[in-house]
Amino acid sequence: MRIKEHPILQFKATEAITFTYNGEPIQGQKGDTIAAALHAAGIKKLSESLHLKRPRGFYCAIGNCASCNMIVNGVPNVRTCITPLEAGMDVRIQEGKGRIK
């Protein structure tokens, strides 16, 4: 879901960017963060809680919580709510604390 009309803010469509989420191609827009593009594509689960494995989604959108930590281009613990989307990114859900390879 993407906001198209707002009484105060103006939104304009920008160029489409393709990236992958768990190996599947997804379309975002230039200027989106990774989490915003995933949310707009209908993907709500970004990570899991460490102990109980409960789903975590787009929460603070300012990089203060860890709900949006994902593996981006092989790097764990990337805060996707503040990371700009780039074409060709490989984004994967992170299970657990994330491990450095």
Q: Is the pLDDT of residue 69 over 60?
A: yes
Helix, strand, coil fractions of the chain, as percent rounded to 5: 5, 30, 60
Look at residue 101 in the predicted model and tell me its pLDDT.
56
Identify the bridge partners of residue 56 per DSSP, sorted by sequence position: 47
Segment 34-56, tens digit of pLDDT: 998 998 899 988 877 777 777 77
The correct answer on CATH 3.40.50.300 for the domain covering 16-93 is no
The pTM for the full model equals: 0.79
Whole-angstrom distance, CA of residue 23 vs CA of residue 9: 34
Q: Is 4 helix (H, G, I), strand (E, B) or coil?
A: coil
pLDDT on residue 11: 65
Mean pLDDT calculated for residue range 68-74: 91
- Can you tell me the mean pLDDT for 11-37? 89
Q: 50 CB contacts (<8 Å, ≥6 apart)?
A: 96, 97
